[in-house]
Amino acid sequence: MEITDILTIRPQDTVFHALRQLDHNGQGILLMLDADSRLIQTVTDGDIRRMLLAGHSTDSTLSNLPVASPLTVSRPYRADKVLALMNKFLINQVPVLDEQGRPVELLHRQELDSQIQILLSTPHLSSFEKEFVDEAFRTNWVAPIGPNVDAFEQEIANYVGAKGAAAVSSGTAAIHLSLILAGVQPGDVVFCSTLTFVASANPILYLGAKPVFIDSEPDSWNMSPSALRTALAAAARKNALPRAVVVVNLYGQSADYDPICAACAEYGVAVVEDAAESLGATYKGKASGTIGKLGIFSFNGNKIITTSGGGMIVADDLELLQRARFLATQARDPAPYYQHSVIGFNYRMSNVLAGIGRGQLRVIEERVASRQAVFRRYVEQLRDVPGLTWMPDAPFGRNTHWLSTGLIDPSVCHLGTAELITQLAAQKIEARRIWKPLHLQPLFAGCDYYTHDGGESVSDRLFNTGICLPSGSNMSPEQQDRAIEVLRNALLAPSARASVGTRT
Ligand SMILES: *Cc1c(COP(=O)(O)O)cnc(C)c1O
């Protein structure tokens, strides 16, 4: 915070004055200045209390305080270094001095804490959103309908090369409607990738259908075509073919659709592409989300672009999309009064939020480039760390690296994913485990599961050893350098400890 009069005192001031200043500023600290406004020392409420207990009165002057040289820093300072200093000396504030020794700023622990925080993936606004949102306000289109909604649908469709798009309130809503459009009924079976966020499969339960989970293959971490084939053959034998397969494109990378679509076509099963994490990715030249019968995107706050919350269905079948909009607006029949024949939902996107989406979509290519650059920096700068490997870039398309994810080999590294995440969190760096596979979730206990090549579960291994690192397109190179430094120290800690050991 800035230095103002209520933060400062002079040696000739009384204890009473100091108490009043402390009461005023509420900081628990005062800066004692000399005649040239240079810092003499810091004075805490504890110092004043001890003066009074030592027999001084409130009329005594502060010149009676014991002399103590203050802990200070100068500009430029590094927030993490100042915090380390605070921790070492058990203090919560540090004054910043200019070249003359005058305080110019008082640093607080809380402020520094939030400065050094590096989060996994946060919204990254451009200069374009506000214009579209202002327009919505100016024209009173503050409703789940309006010109931004129509334009955002068209712009997403154009961007991915689909014939159309329907904007909805979330990616989850988009999956729910897509499954209805694929004809899923209560009691039906729906296949789903196991290594994904729960939102991929929750809509299966909304519909009273039964999920069956399919393992990952090691080359893209996405649905294993061989496991899918085995599951389809088994389902055909039981006369329980799925109504649809939800294929997830994980962390910015497409699944291998040629063999997946071939298998599904053979059995006449619809593919719903959960591209919530892969807007901007491609598969053999086609945009992620446009390969299945229906594709969905999410604009949740952590995704590559955001509307704060929102989703989109894309398809080439415009009638299906019209049906999606109908179902998303309470399925109102074309009658001169409120008449309804099927179950509907309140799932449309707000015109205000669609405005945010339009602004975000203008910079999608920059966001992809930034996320890819973040991933490349991790790979290059941590090349020498043994036991650390990365999510592979499958040869069939563009991986946006929405999240930078890697694996920690437990036979090489001295610490596991949980401990690494705790160590990073202690330095205010947010990392997370990769998705816990859905076949391991209590929610889906008892559901069938098919492993890759019929062998050991690939997704279990990925879950046990995988971690997601800070990946935001708005993360500065300096922030990432610090994340890399902390990661390196954590992963290489035993040898560091050994060298300290030899010195002592
Ligand atoms: C984020 C996400 C969703 C859900 O999107 P929301 O907009 O948060 O409802 C679905 N599937 C996957 C794979 C996701 O990552």
**Cβ–ligand 1 contact at 277 (below 6 Å):** yes
**Cβ–ligand 1 contact at 248 (below 6 Å):** yes
**Cβ–ligand 1 contact at 197 (below 6 Å):** yes
H/E stretch holding 41: strand 39-44
- State the average pLDDT over residues 192-213: 98
**Cβ–ligand 1 contact at 273 (below 6 Å):** no
Nearest ligand 1 atom, CA 300: 7
Nearest CA to ligand 1 atom 14: 276
**Cβ–ligand 1 contact at 169 (below 6 Å):** no
**Cβ–ligand 1 contact at 93 (below 6 Å):** no
Give the Å distance between the CA of 167 and the centre of ligand 1: 14
Using the predicted structure, report yes or no on whether residue 20 has a pLDDT greater than 80: yes
Give the Å distance between the CA of 247 and the centre of ligand 1: 13
| pLDDT (0 to 100) of residue 111 | 87
Percent of the chain surpassing pLDDT 90: 92
**Cβ–ligand 1 contact at 311 (below 6 Å):** yes
Alpha helices in 362-503 (DSSP H): 364-381, 417-426, 458-465, 477-491, 493-503
Using the predicted structure, report yes or no on whether residue 353 has a pLDDT greater than 80: yes
Using the predicted structure, report yes or no on whether residue 499 has a pLDDT greater than 50: no
| pLDDT (0 to 100) of residue 495 | 47
**Cβ–ligand 1 contact at 312 (below 6 Å):** no
Nearest ligand 1 atom, CA 299: 7
User: Which region among 1-5, 323-327, 456-460 has the lowest average model confidence (pLDDT)?
Assistant: 1-5
Q: Which residue from 196, 279, 300 has its CB within 8 A of the most atoms of ligand 1, so it is best to mutate?
A: 300
Residue 483, amino acid = A
Nearest ligand 1 atom, CA 298: 7
Confidence of residue 137 (pLDDT cuts 50, 70, 90): very high
**Cβ–ligand 1 contact at 396 (below 6 Å):** no
Each residue's pLDDT tens digit, 382-417: 999 999 999 999 999 999 999 999 999 989 999 999
**Cβ–ligand 1 contact at 304 (below 6 Å):** no
Where b means 16+ CB within 10 Å and e means fewer, 394-426 reads bebbbbbbbbbbbbbeeeebebebeebbebbee
| pLDDT (0 to 100) of residue 494 | 64
| pLDDT (0 to 100) of residue 415 | 93
Please say whether the beta carbons of 33 and 7 come within 8 A.
no
Give the Å distance between the CA of 276 and the centre of ligand 1: 5
Using the predicted structure, report yes or no on whether residue 477 has a pLDDT greater than 60: yes
Q: Which residue from 222, 246, 274 has its CB within 8 A of the most atoms of ligand 1, so it is best to mutate?
A: 274
Interatomic CA distance for residues 361 and 129, integer angstroms: 9
Q: Which residue from 172, 251, 294, 400 has its CB within 8 A of the most atoms of ligand 1, so it is best to mutate?
A: 172
Q: What residues contact residue 88 under an 8 Å CB cut-off, 6+ apart? A: none
Write down the pTM of the prediction.
0.86
Q: Which residue from 248, 277, 299, 471 has its CB within 8 A of the most atoms of ligand 1, so it is best to mutate?
A: 277
Interatomic CA distance for residues 324 and 180, integer angstroms: 9
| pLDDT (0 to 100) of residue 501 | 38
- Measured in degrees and rounded to the nearest 5, phi and psi for residue 196 equal -165, 175
**Cβ–ligand 1 contact at 298 (below 6 Å):** yes
Using the predicted structure, report yes or no on whether residue 1 has a pLDDT greater than 90: no
Using the predicted structure, report yes or no on whether residue 232 has a pLDDT greater than 50: yes
Give the Å distance between the CA of 108 and the centre of ligand 1: 37
**Cβ–ligand 1 contact at 313 (below 6 Å):** no
Give the Å distance between the CA of 286 and the centre of ligand 1: 21
Using the predicted structure, report yes or no on whether residue 493 has a pLDDT greater than 90: no
Confidence of residue 233 (pLDDT cuts 50, 70, 90): very high
Nearest CA to ligand 1 atom 5: 171
Q: How far is CA 299 from the centre of its chain?
A: 12
Nearest ligand 1 atom, CA 277: 15
Interatomic CA distance for residues 462 and 354, integer angstroms: 36
Report the candidate in 49, 90, 98 with the shortest Cα–Cα distance to residue 73: 98
Give the Å distance between the CA of 145 and the centre of ligand 1: 22
Strand pairing of 93-97 and 29-33? Answer: unpaired
Each residue's pLDDT tens digit, 31-74: 999 999 999 999 999 999 999 999 999 999 999 999 988 999 99
H/E stretch holding 164: strand 164-168
**Cβ–ligand 1 contact at 252 (below 6 Å):** no
Q: How far is CA 27 from the centre of its chain?
A: 34
Each residue's pLDDT tens digit, 152-201: 999 999 999 999 999 999 999 999 999 999 999 999 999 999 999 999 99
Give the Å distance between the CA of 339 and the centre of ligand 1: 32
**Cβ–ligand 1 contact at 200 (below 6 Å):** yes
Using the predicted structure, report yes or no on whether residue 498 has a pLDDT greater than 60: no
**Cβ–ligand 1 contact at 178 (below 6 Å):** no
